[in-house]
Amino acid sequence: MYDIIIIGAGPAGLTSALYARRAGKKVLVLEAKSYGGQILNANKVENYPGILSISGVDFAKHLYNQVEKLGFDIKYETVIRILENKTVITNQESYEGKAIIIATGAQNRKLDIENENDFIGKGISYCATCDGNFYKNKVVAVNGGGNAALEDALYLANIASKVYLIHRRDSFRGENAYLEELKKKENVEIIVNSTIKAVEGKELLENITVLNTDGNESTLKVDGLFIAIGQVPKNDIFNNVVDLDEKGYILSSDGVHTKTEGIYVAGDTREKVLRQLTTAVSDGSIAATIAIKEMK
């Protein structure tokens, strides 16, 4: 029997483990892949308070080592189900806890084109506010049509020398006010009815191939590509113990509690306004603190 079972070993999950272990609780972390989560894709992290610059990999290592020093159990198993009695079933075993924190994060929706993964952190990013400053006075492209894409393009227009905004339709889902502001920017070029079909480069991204609905292809020389076509949480396996919004994120009245007593949520997997490293670790610390306080 564990005091707290944490599902997910990203920044939110590991921070929950850190706070729980510092409180002397017996902790199990379950992770399907590797610790670190999406922060592993960040070439550099320079927007975390108190840290001038650090790679995402190094940040994850430091956080993991900090928790490991306190002693905890981590098992690399895939969670299949949570029962209402706070039993977690994985592909290998089942575990009982007094409290459960779901911190599975969300995956950035990818273009699913050849070489995309090769350029992540080397020209391809899914977070303009995280990585935009690396492209000062350079040429970038943003792919997407929602508020996230429009906001990313506006943010980057103040940093980059040129911004291409590429959208597969002729109209945008994002707010018109953002779009009108973008149209006023001299360094922003809006390309509609087009999709990105290829990314190319040697060590770093150099070109993207754009295909429009007429079947014509064009090559754009860019230093960076920011993909903003949404995120994908994988919370369907928890729908017996939590409520989900229309996008699949876990709903919570206060950012911590789910509909099931003793089951909490933290990090990018919950419905929230901002998904950043700072908010993930904040969520993790709050979820663990409340879980400990309410533990029966």
Does the annotation count 130 as an active-site position?
yes
269 within 8 A of 245, measured Cβ to Cβ: no
Neighbours of 41 (CB within 10 A): 19
Q: Which residue among 3, 131, 152, 223 is the active-site one?
A: 131
Non-local (6+) Cβ contacts of 201 within 8 A are: 119, 122, 123, 207
- Note if 268 is an active site residue: no
- How far apart are alpha carbons 111 and 114 in whole angstroms? 9
- Residues 6+ away with beta carbon under 8 Å from 215: none
Whole-angstrom distance, CA of residue 79 vs CA of residue 5: 11
- Specify the 3-state DSSP secondary structure of 284: helix
Selecting among 3, 112, 127, 152, the annotated active-site residue is 127
Is residue 236 flagged as an active site residue?
A: no
| From 58, 118, 130, 223, active-site residue | 130
Alpha carbons 30 and 9: distance in angstroms, whole number: 7
* Residues labelled catalytic: 127, 130-131
